[in-house]
Structure 1
Amino acid sequence: MTYNVTPQLASNGFTVAELFAGGGLMAVGLRAAGYDLVWANDFDKNAVKAYGHNLGDHIVHGDITALNIDSIPDVDVIAGGPPCQDYSVAGTSAGEEGERGKLVWRYLEIIERKRPKAFVFENVKGLIMKKHRPTFDALLERFAAIGYTVSWRLINAWDYGVAQKRERVFIVGVRADLGFAYVFPEPRPEDYRTQVLRDVIGDLPEPYAIHAPEERLPAYIQNVVDGKTTTNYGNGIPVNSGDYPARTLICEYRAKCPNEVTSINGFPRRFTVRECLRIQSVPDSYVLPDDISLSAQYRIVGNGVASRVSYLLGVALAEQLRTATESNAIGERLISDYPDDCANSRKEAV
């Protein structure tokens, strides 16, 4: 089976530039939704290599704080999620005072300067929690102040046909002159919490079978063999099984972390990179180059946006932008065709 839950749609006529693009997992979804990807940026050279390998050489490697904003092409939509570690519960919790946390304001600065029709902003759930809520509210206020009508939602990827309980905050802003607020698509009944690990990785072969002597087994597996612990590791966090969605993938693998699944041998093992990609709803056509280290590959996948989520949000945005653009064009044409009548109507209304 070739896995793909983001089928390619026809071009929608809208262009996208992506900030903090990473390896392009969000871009995979947007491209499939019909957008033309014309520019992207990221600071991580491995992420840039992965993006370029899969999506094209329009990505620019470099520090976004040093980037000349005028070098970003004019586009219809700007997308991306500033680094989340300073807002994550598992991260530094430094918030907007952190080196990465302050990048939310750089994102806003670029939106203000470039004035796209719309933007899509993604970040961790921690941004709307009590400690960082003042930053989130201030961000919404500033987006409104620079002329954008904003809508936001905490989205669980599992609700949208992804086999992962991944909660992320999405803000979608629409330039006020377009006259509408973005409406988030609702989960379809066939998608809503229906996908489990078996559905997305069940056809993949086991990466290995354990035949090594017990003394060569990893310590956490050895403890299971010896009866010193269970597959809960004694901390109440069960190992993923095929009958449930994955817990949120993290950007790096550790022995005791959610990036694990119970193998056919009954022992826990970490997900392979391909399994992680599928859990992030990335099609099998996406391939990470062999010269990127394994740890960097896990980081690229764990930091990404679930492709099917960006796909569905992108489809809805394109439909709403098209409707607004066509309505505005019709209105402008009517005013042009009947200038005197419109003028008289305005006088009568006054």
Structure 2
Amino acid sequence: MIKVNYNALCTNKKGLDLFCGAGGLSLGFMMAGGTPVGAIDNDIDAISTYKSIFPMAKSVYLGDIKEWHPEDEIKEVDIIFGGPPCQGFSLARGTRFVDDPRNHLYQEFVRLVEHYNPQWFVMENVQGIMNIGGGVIYQQILEDFESLGFQVECRVINMAEYGVPQLRKRAVFVGNRMGVNFQWPTKTNAKKVQKTPKHEVDLPDYNSVNSALSDLPLPIGNYFSHRANAQMRGPRNRIAEKQPAYTLRVRGDEFALCEHPAVSAFIPGDAPEEPVSYHLIKTSLQEFYRQSAPEWVDHPIIEVIDTHNTTVLTGTRKLTLRESARLQTFPDWVKFQGRRTSQAKQIGNAVPPLFGYHLFCQIFSYMN
């Protein structure tokens, strides 16, 4: 179980969040003991969410990153992190991608790393970034940061291996200018199959959908289902009690909880009302969601029901926003701003804070 002391932030570890969204990486950074001091995004609702979570951030900017000059308020940072939109990674003339105007967002990330020269940086993107153009873009990214004096490691991470109840794979670049041979944080969970490496045999299985959601007074589904799209012949189903969710996407209506496995072009029923209470805690993951909020936010939900959730779902239904947020490991005290579609976008685009926590704890161990 993770115990977070928000009142004891390590203010000597200052972080700058580029393309911050709702602040998933910043939240993991803060949970690990760092202080977010600045952030930027061009989504007005995401910036509103970010400001409500991180009032200590001195410079939170809404707009074009090319027009942002955070040095007016932030003189230095220890870590820069963020995820440039993947649309920026495209090939130009088949060999290099730096001259393509669509790549300016990634170039701005590099520019700010060069300007601040932090000890560390973390850059997250879709796993496909590793092999676009036969690996040309991947090699270019390594070269760009190595030319600035950074030693870079990259790995495709399955977030489920760090406690996230979701099969979410992302490419994560970690660079440092301290000459450190970075070792990735130790996994906390492993899929129980015969091919599991020996050193992972004793790890608990992936957290399941129901391990994250079953303390909410809502009908519990037997299956977590993904609607079919142009790339799929039909819907996909996972056992909610035993398996993690599929990767959450920007559109929350792609996923549903179902009584029976979804077949054909199923249309899930409406999402129930967001709960205003909880059943008694069943798992450490649920305790993590309900941990005490920091002093600068109002604790949203306090009431606890002294019963077990025995309501079984009949038919199908969409996820609530809180359920989606839990599958991304946002604590329950986080309140997303904007309309429902905007909130779903903020949740789907985020890096799970629980993974960020493990990653930054590992980075801090080198800095300490």
TM-score category of the 2 structures, normalised to the smaller one: 0.7 to 0.9
Q: Which residue of 2 aligns with 1:35?
A: 34
Change beyond 3 A, Cα 1:270–1:43: same
Change beyond 3 A, Cα 1:126–1:5: farther
Change beyond 3 A, Cα 1:119–1:62: same
One-letter code aligned to 1:115: N
Q: Give 2:215's match in structure 1, choosing from 193, 203, 207.
A: 203
Q: Give 2:345's match in structure 1, choosing from 262, 274, 299.
A: 299
One-letter code aligned to 1:169: A
Change beyond 3 A, Cα 1:205–1:73: farther
Alpha-carbon deviation of 1:65?
1.8
One-letter code aligned to 2:158: N
For the Cα contact (< 8 Å) 2:206–2:243, is it kept in 1?
no
One-letter code aligned to 1:307: P
Change beyond 3 A, Cα 1:11–1:68: closer
Q: Distance in 2 between matches of 1:203 and 1:41?
A: 35
* CA displacement 1:81-106 (0-9 Å, x = unmatched): 11134569xxxxxx878766441121
One-letter code aligned to 2:355: V
Alpha-carbon deviation of 1:193?
4.0
One-letter code aligned to 1:195: N
* CA displacement 1:16-41 (0-9 Å, x = unmatched): 11111111111111101000111111
Q: Which residue of 2 aligns with 1:262?
A: 258
Structure 1 length-normalised TM: 0.74
Q: Distance in 2 between matches of 1:140 and 1:46?
A: 33
Q: Distance in 2 between matches of 1:99 and 1:309?
A: 32
Q: Give 2:121's match in structure 1, choosing from 115, 119, 122.
A: 119
For the Cα contact (< 8 Å) 2:89–2:102, is it kept in 1?
no
Larger radius of gyration: 1
Q: Distance in 2 between matches of 1:46 and 1:75?
A: 25
For the Cα contact (< 8 Å) 2:88–2:106, is it kept in 1?
no
Unaligned runs of 5+ in 2: 91-96, 190-201, 222-227, 260-311
Q: Which residue of 1 aligns with 2:64?
A: 63
Matched, 1:317 2:317: no
Change beyond 3 A, Cα 1:195–1:100: farther
Alpha-carbon deviation of 1:251?
1.0
Q: Which residue of 2 aligns with 1:163?
A: 165
Q: Give 2:325's match in structure 1, choosing from 277, 280, 305.
A: 277
Report how many aligned residue pairs link the two structures: 285
Q: Which residue of 2 aligns with 1:140?
A: 142
Q: Which residue of 1 aligns with 2:182?
A: 182
Q: Which residue of 2 aligns with 1:83?
A: 85
For the Cα contact (< 8 Å) 1:207–1:272, is it kept in 2?
no
Change beyond 3 A, Cα 1:132–1:29: farther
Change beyond 3 A, Cα 1:98–1:275: farther
Alpha-carbon deviation of 1:208?
11
Q: Which residue of 2 aligns with 1:8?
A: 5
Alpha-carbon deviation of 1:295?
0.0
Unaligned runs of 5+ in 1: 89-94, 210-228, 323-350
* RMSD of aligned Cα (Å): 2.9
Q: Distance in 1 between matches of 2:241 and 2:75?
A: 44
Q: Distance in 1 between matches of 2:334 and 2:87?
A: 25
For the Cα contact (< 8 Å) 1:261–1:271, is it kept in 2?
yes
**Which structure has greater helix proportion?**
1
Q: Give 2:336's match in structure 1, choosing from 288, 310, 313.
A: 288
Q: Which moved more, 1:6-15 or 1:148-157?
A: 6-15
Change beyond 3 A, Cα 1:6–1:272: farther
Change beyond 3 A, Cα 1:138–1:16: same
One-letter code aligned to 1:301: I
Q: Distance in 2 between matches of 1:98 and 1:193?
A: 43
Q: Distance in 1 between matches of 2:40 and 2:363?
A: 22
One-letter code aligned to 1:197: V
Change beyond 3 A, Cα 1:26–1:205: same
